[in-house]
C-alpha cells in the first residue's frame, strides 16, 4: 500500500495522529487540531480521511470513557467528605458508617472507608487510559507515516 501513497499523504496522516498531543498545550486541542487538518484534506486524500476519522473517534471514545469513570467515582467521593469533616455532611454520613478502617497517626484518626478501593480502581483505570492514549497514538503516527492503515483499540465509531 505504500507505493500508491504519496509522501505528503503519509506525513499528513501521521501529523493528524500526532496532533492529538496538542491537548497538553491547548484545551481540547486533541479534537480541534486534528479536526482542522482532517476537514481541510479529507476530500483530496482517502488515506487522510480514514486516519482523521480514526484519530477523532479514538479521542472522543477516550473522553467518553473518562467521563463515565468520573461519574462512577462521584458517589464514593460524596461518601468520603463526611469523614473529612467528621460530621454528617448533607446527610451523606451514613454512607461511610460501615466497614471503616481506622489508623492512628499522630493522635489523629485517619479513616480509610469504603471509598478507597473504588476510587483507587477508577484512578488506575484513568491512568491506564492515559497510557493507552500515549502508546497507541505514537504507534498510529509511526504506522501511518509508513503507509500502513491503523485501527485503534477500544474505539467507538462516532464518525463513519
- Averaged pLDDT for residues 17-24: 95
Residues 6+ apart with CB under 8 A from 83: 96, 100, 111, 113
* pTM score: 0.76
C-alpha cell read off for 42: 479529507
What are the tens digits of pLDDT across the range 81-118? 555 555 555 555 555 554 555 544 454 555 555 567 77
Q: Kindly report the backbone phi and psi dihedral angles of residue 13, in degrees, each rounded to the nearest multiple of 5, phi listed first.
A: -65, -40
Amino acid at each position: 500500500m505504500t507505493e500508491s501513497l504519496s509522501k505528503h499523504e503519509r506525513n499528513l496522516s501521521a501529523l493528524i495522529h500526532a496532533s492529538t498531543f496538542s491537548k497538553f498545550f491547548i484545551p481540547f486541542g486533541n479534537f480541534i487540531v486534528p479536526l482542522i487538518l482532517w476537514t481541510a484534506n479529507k476530500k483530496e486524500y482517502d488515506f487522510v480521511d480514514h486516519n482523521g476519522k480514526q484519530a477523532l473517534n479514538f479521542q472522543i471514545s477516550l473522553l467518553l470513557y473518562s467521563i463515565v469513570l468520573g461519574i462512577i467515582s462521584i458517589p464514593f467521593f460524596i461518601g468520603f467528605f463526611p469523614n473529612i469533616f467528621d460530621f454528617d455532611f448533607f446527610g451523606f454520613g451514613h454512607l461511610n458508617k460501615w466497614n471503616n478502617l481506622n489508623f492512628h497517626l499522630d493522635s489523629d484518626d485517619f479513616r480509610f472507608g469504603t471509598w478507597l478501593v473504588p476510587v483507587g480502581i477508577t484512578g488506575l483505570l484513568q491512568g491506564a487510559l492515559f497510557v493507552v492514549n500515549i502508546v497507541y497514538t505514537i504507534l498510529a503516527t509511526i504506522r501511518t507515516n509508513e503507509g500502513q492503515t491503523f485501527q485503534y483499540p477500544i474505539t467507538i465509531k462516532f464518525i463513519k
